[in-house]
A and B are shown apart, each in its own frame.
Chain A
Amino acid sequence: MVIQNTTRRWGALSQLLHWTIVVLIIVQVTLAYLADDLPNGMRKLTLLARHKSFGITILALVILRLVWRRLNDTPTLPETLKPYERFLARITHGALYVLLFAMPLSGWMMSSARGFPVSWFGFIQLPDLVPKSKPLYDFFVTTHETLAWTLGAVVTLHVAAALKHHFVLKDDTLRRMLPFTGKKERI
């Protein structure tokens, strides 16, 4: 397995980051959903603390992903794509990166505005990004929720496109982000 990306295939590090973030997003949605219905108490506190810690983890992984993307090749889009499809693919991928940044940041700001400092799994206490304020808190709650639904929509589009490439167009677009599917190749 190759660590680095090539123009034809995502490398091991990019794949690892991609799928780790996928798993963490599923964890995040589950934690948020579970905590939402709970009364104030230890369980809600614990779930939200994990939600915040995983969110900060995603933020760090996304930064790492963007840095890594800059440092090596990016697999090219399939030749068969029409211009509007190329445009849509770029918009979707761009939106995913923006949302993966904005989600944790808006959550972090929401906590700061509420006066609940964020800690990463109890190891590091993060600084407050905004001052404590009720209007700011309300704004970031709405922002965080809106971004969450937007992310849901963009992810749906992303997954639908990947499946279309795999099952309808039968190209290797999905496979090149999957481990153990690459042919032995020399760079």
Chain B
Amino acid sequence: MVRASLAVACAAALMTAAAAAAPGAAPHYTLDQAKSSLEFAFTQAGALNKGHFGRFPVTMDFSADNLAASRLEVAVDVNSLDTGDKDRDDTLRGADLLSVSKFPQAQFSAAQIVKTATGFEASGKLTIRGVTRDTRVPFSFRTASEQGAAVGYMSGKVTIRRLDFGVGQGEWKATDQVGNEVTVSFALRLISATH
């Protein structure tokens, strides 16, 4: 009797492990653009200036129990940037800064997501203005069930250096007026495709 229940327990454990390792077992999410934000902040003349992007499709496979099958893809429509001032926006879009006509899209592609003490961290390639750099993006993730639909709330913040990506050519290479560090923060509402 004891032996039988042990066998059942082992089998159950094996099945759970198999399910965890099975590819494609992480739910697939897409972005709820209207209820998500992607913001950036930088210092200009010593003062913090903020802006956001209006369009940045996200696709994500994520399960806290199956990080091996989890991945994250973000494509940012750089032209959708908005700092609330047309002159500043046009300057940012210009050839010496984000050069949107040549590089209309910025991307983050992470195939590796790991658990950290405070949440998760996606390690991947961040491409801005045609320059790709290895970047780690820490984030928190929680799931919720809203009117029968499974949704995920993902948020986090990462600080990048604009000059690492060539954002700042010519006179904009100087960092005394426009700081090198740009803080990118996001709060995403993701909708599960499988609900």
Contacts and interface: CB of A to CB of B under 8 A. Distances in A.
**A-B pairs, 4 with minimum CB distance:** A122-B46, A119-B46, A49-B45, A117-B47
Interface string B42-66: 0111111100000000000000000
A104 to B, nearest CB: 16
Contacts of A48: 45
Interface in B133-177: 171-172, 174, 177
Given A46-B177, A132-B84, A125 B171 contact: no
Contact of B91 (A40, A115, A123): A40
Contacts of A125: 46-48
Question: Taking chain B's interface residues, is the majority helix, strand, or loop, or is none over half, making it mixed?
Answer: mixed
Contacts, number: 52
B83 A115 contact: yes
Contacts of A118: 47
A116 interface: yes
Interface string A41-60: 11101101100100000000
A42 B172 contact: yes
B83 A42 contact: no
A116 B177 CA distance: 13
A121 interface: yes
Interface of A: 40-43, 45-46, 48-49, 52, 114-123, 125-126, 132
A125 B45 CA distance: 10
B46 A121 contact: yes
B46 A49 contact: yes
Nearest to A123: B46
A49 B85 contact: no
B31 interface: no
12 contacts: A40-B91, A41-B171, A42-B174, A45-B44, A45-B177, A115-B49, A115-B83, A116-B49, A116-B85, A117-B47, A119-B47, A121-B46
A121 B177 CA distance: 10
B84 A115 contact: yes
B177 A117 contact: no
A50 to B, nearest CB: 9
B152 to A, nearest CB: 32
B44 A116 contact: yes
A40 B87 contact: yes
A116 B47 CA distance: 8
A48 B178 CA distance: 13
A110 to B, nearest CB: 13
